[in-house]
Amino acid sequence: MAPQTQRDEYLPPPTERFSLLGVIWKNLLTPWYNFVLTVVSLWLLYAILKPTIRWALHARWEVLPANMRILMTGPYPGEFLWRVWATLWLLGFVVGFSWGVWVRRRERVTWVLVAIPILLAAVSQGTVRLYWLGVLLAALIGWALGRRLRDRKGGLIGVLLWVFYFPAFVLLIRGFGLPEEGPAWKYHIAVQLALYVAALFVGVWAAKASWPGWIWAALAVVGLMGWAGPWSRTLFIGGVVAWLIWNGARRYAHLEGMKRFTISVGLAYIPALIFIFFAYEPLAQTWLSKVNSNYWGGLLLNLLITVFGIMFSFPLGVLFALGRRSSLPVIRLFSILYIEFIRGVPFITILFMAQVMFPILLPPEMSIDRVVRAILGVVMFAAAYMAENVRGGLQAIPKGQYEAAYALGLTATQTMLLIILPQALRNVIPVLVGQFIGLLKDTTLVTIVGLLDILGVAQSVLSNPDWIGTQREVYLFVALLFWVFSYGMSYASRRLEQALGVGQR
Amino acid sequence: MAEQDCQPQATLNKQYAPQVKKQSHARYDQDPIIIVEDLHKWYGNFHVLRGINMKVWPGEVIVIFGPSGSGKSTFIRCINRLEEHQKGRIIVDGIELTHDVKNIERIRREVGMVFQQFNLFPHLTVLENITLAPIHVRKWPKEKAEKIAMELLERVGIPDQAHKYPGQLSGGQQQRVAIARALAMQPKIMLFDEPTSALDPEMIKEVLDVMIELAQSGMTMLVVTHEMGFAKAVADRMFFFDKGQVVESGTPEEIFTNPKEERTKQFLAQILH
Ligand SMILES: Nc1ncnc2c1ncn2[C@@H]1O[C@H](COP(=O)(O)OP(=O)(O)OP(=O)(O)O)[C@@H](O)[C@H]1O
Ligand SMILES: [Mg+2]
């Protein structure tokens, strides 16, 4: 029981006029022990700051501009550096567009985002300065466009822009080479794409009919029977994927906008064909020729591994979390074994194993490069932890939610996707973002398997005789970069929580 | 178990005595819409349901009551297979409930359920709660689902709350949304498991009014409740459950004025005072 409160204790406290001197006097100088503490703290602060400031004034900061390019992109070839910039311009555009569409209130963070390219332009020189201004320009164009489309499909376009940003990013960074099979590949791709589009149309327009599935299955079987030839492989892969598409389309045919979506995909087939037949080869030989992943490095590599690590480990983690709660013993056992195995092994070991194991496990013609192997290692590692976090979120959902959904006639899959996962994931946003931040910082460990990420580049800079003794400057800079990105993620997660109203609804 | 322990929480709202002209919508000339034959269920070694028999005709309003732990919830949840029975048969709308998932889904489409704890989906607005199943199970276009949802919200008296989240509503409003959500699937049968037990007295009335209106519209209803005012007003038959068995059943007049079994008398005496 709370002690009885006097009635006048509920009255508002007498208002104090704020005065700086008053606050200092009250909190820092009286009574005597506060005064002593203040003096001691000031002295400590001085003792620490003085050498730091002296060092900062005399530090060889020129090491940073001189090596900025390799710190950012590692050995990425100079003639294609514009492609890295292009990913930033695109990013500026997409972010600007999203801002125009979704951010309606005045936000302080807007000014921070605008300030970033301006600041970076201010501290850089020559073309780099122009490039940064290009980012700003792209963002402004995107913003203006987003504002105009705000009430007309802006949201949908915004989502699509983000969806296509990541393939575009890879395309720009990696470029593409010419397939070895010769010119026939164009026809294979054209036929496969045609199958997919057809599957989508059949699925949406003949949603109730049950026969068309056999078409794709038959194609797959025919293809499988003659696996050796390139055409049969095309039929097999095309048939299987078309079957999947058809199935999904059939199931969601009733959703609003599905028909319009299908028609736009059908229309997109034409430019895709034109690209494949007329633009691909010239581009592959000139502007967009392939840059092997050995040449990717610096901060670019850290961010790339982080982004793709998150993008793939997240769905995989959710699947393992569901698997661990599955009623099918085989799936449950497999999930438990996977999660517990990965969690029992140090990350570095997994990175090494990913480098040496995948080449053994996969057929020799499917060799995958080292960066992809590193990403796979990161994904495998992160997925296990993700699974446990998501499982925690799933466990917090009351049984009544399942029962209400089942009682309405929803299937188990629909219940999971529409009712349970949205709530479970929303509840674990803080934990997941914590894990994403950890993932970002852990990407520095790929140095150990010989990839030139920003830390690897930093080490090679420091072993350069010209820059001996600049460890402090370089590592401080690297630390600052990581802090900026981690803080950005943490800030974004807090805003996301607010937007989704975690803990309020 | 001591008698006192069996007594349900004070669910009887003595003020609630609706004055409705009693008129039954039961269509006894048709085939029964629910047939339960010798239903048994065990939780481990615990024999919860011990041979329940019941037939429900279209349009009937059935009230099920009895002491806590007597298996009322378990029974009603067997009818849409939220619980699995181990022996006996349940036939709903001509379909027998077995392990066949397709049959279970078909029955669940035709049987709406309202829970004691509402169980609304907290991440969806009221309107989304109601349109979810029509869109994803009945495959209606969104406009149609929303139109019907708004009509239902009108019917349960809260059209102005459509765009709020469940957490922003009072208990009574939430339960009415839950009723609208179940009705949106246009079910043939509605199950209610103590729909007013979690509500404050002043909210009980608003929910019961909706249920009475529903009963008068000819819906087949199975209601677990201790609201005897409601039972008197609209029930066609009442079933008294005790220790997993139907001890007594009959019309409200028979049950209230002339209960045959001693156990029924005792129980009614407890909750009517
Ligand atoms: N999942 C379960 N596992 C084991 N025993 C259970 C389970 N659910 C219910 N029981 C037991 O079955 C018996 C009947 O439960 P039920 O919920 O059907 O009772 P009820 O008549 O609805 O009671 P109340 O009025 O309290 O809601 C109770 O003794 C309960 O303890
Ligand atoms: Mg109960």
DSSP states of A373-398: HHHHHHHHHHHHHHHHHHHHHHHTS-
What's the pLDDT tens digit per position in B204-228? 999 999 999 999 999 999 999 999 9
Q: Determine, yes or no, domain membership for A15.
A: no
Q: What is the DSSP annotation of A145-183?
A: HHHHHTTTTHHHHHHHHHHHHHHHHHHHHH-----TT-T
A499 at B interface, C-beta within 8 A? no
Given a cut of 70, is residue B15 above it in pLDDT? no
Q: Looking at CA atoms only, how far is residue A223 from chain B in angstroms?
A: 33
Same domain, yes or no: A478 and A391? yes
Alpha helices in A347-449 (DSSP H): 347-361, 370-395, 399-407, 412-414, 421-427, 429-442
Q: Determine, yes or no, domain membership for A66.
A: no
Q: Would the CB atoms of A407 and B82 count as touching at under 8 Å? A: yes
Give strand pairing partners of A197: none
Residues of B with CB under 8 A from a CB of A: 80, 82, 105, 108-109, 111-113, 115, 117, 119-123, 132-133, 135-137, 139-142, 165-168, 178, 181-182, 185
The domain containing residue A119 runs over which residues? 77-174
Determine the pLDDT at residue A368: 75
Q: Determine, yes or no, domain membership for A10.
A: no
Q: Determine, yes or no, domain membership for A298.
A: yes
Q: Determine, yes or no, domain membership for A339.
A: yes
Same domain, yes or no: A37 and A81? no
The per-residue pLDDT string of chain A (505 residues; one tens digit each, 9 = 90 and over) reads 444 444 555 555 556 566 777 777 777 777 788 888 888 999 999 999 998 899 888 888 888 888 999 999 999 998 999 999 999 999 999 999 999 998 878 788 888 889 999 999 998 888 899 999 999 999 999 999 999 998 888 888 999 999 999 999 998 998 888 777 677 788 888 888 998 999 888 888 887 776 777 888 888 888 887 777 778 878 888 888 888 888 888 888 887 788 888 898 999 999 999 988 888 888 888 888 888 888 999 999 999 999 999 999 999 999 999 999 998 999 999 999 999 999 999 999 999 998 888 878 777 666 678 888 999 999 999 999 999 999 999 999 999 999 999 999 999 999 999 999 999 999 999 999 999 999 999 999 998 888 899 999 999 999 999 998 888 999 999 999 999 999 999 998 888 888 887 545 5
DSSP-based three-state secondary structure for A79: helix
Same domain, yes or no: A370 and A395? yes
CATH of the domain at A438: 1.10.3720.10
Same domain, yes or no: A248 and A352? no
Determine the pLDDT at residue A43: 92
User: Ligand 1 within 6 A of B71 CB?
Assistant: yes
Determine the pLDDT at residue A370: 85
pTM: 0.83
- A403 chain-B contacts, CB cut-off 8 A: 82, 113, 115, 119
Given a cut of 70, is residue B255 above it in pLDDT? yes
What's the pLDDT tens digit per position in B130-145? 999 999 999 898 999 9
Determine the pLDDT at residue B201: 87
- A407 chain-B contacts, CB cut-off 8 A: 80, 82, 108, 111-113, 182
Q: In this structure, what token pair is assigned to residue A72?
A: 């950012």
Question: Relative to the CA of B77, which ligand 1 atom is closest?
Answer: 18
Atom 26, ligand 1: residue with shortest CA distance: B68
Determine the pLDDT at residue A1: 43
Query: Structurally, how many domains does chain A consist of?
Result: 4
Same domain, yes or no: A226 and A367? no
pLDDT interval class at B165 (50, 70, 90): very high
Q: How far apart are CA A449 and CA B91, in angstroms?
A: 64
Last residue of a domain, one of A250, A285, A320: A285
Same domain, yes or no: A377 and A315? yes
Q: Determine, yes or no, domain membership for A65.
A: no
Contact A350, A377 (CB under 8 A): yes
Same domain, yes or no: A329 and A449? yes
Same domain, yes or no: A34 and A156? no
Determine the pLDDT at residue B180: 97
CB pairs under 8 A between A and B: 71
Same domain, yes or no: A395 and A313? yes
Question: Relative to the CA of B194, which ligand 1 atom is closest?
Answer: 27
Whether the complex's predicted ipTM is more than 0.90 is answered with: yes
- A411 chain-B contacts, CB cut-off 8 A: 105
DSSP-based three-state secondary structure for A268: helix
Same domain, yes or no: A156 and A222? no
Same domain, yes or no: A459 and A333? yes
Query: Distances in Å between the alpha carbon of B186 and those of B110, B140, B149, B181, B210?
Result: 7, 12, 11, 10, 16
Q: Determine, yes or no, domain membership for A14.
A: no
Last residue of a domain, one of A245, A262, A285: A285
Residue whose CB lies within 8 A of the most ligand 1 atoms, among B42, B68, B242, B246, for a mutation test: B68
Last residue of a domain, one of A285, A311, A335: A285
Question: Relative to the CA of B8, which ligand 1 atom is closest?
Answer: 25
Q: Would the CB atoms of A423 and B123 count as touching at under 8 Å? A: yes
Q: In this structure, what token pair is assigned to residue A12?
A: 């508002």
Determine the pLDDT at residue A333: 96
Same domain, yes or no: A165 and A257? no
Q: Determine, yes or no, domain membership for A68.
A: no
Tell whether the torsion through CA atoms of B266, B270, B271 and B273 is positive or negative: positive
Determine the pLDDT at residue A231: 80
The CA B191 to ligand 2 mean position distance, Å, reads 12
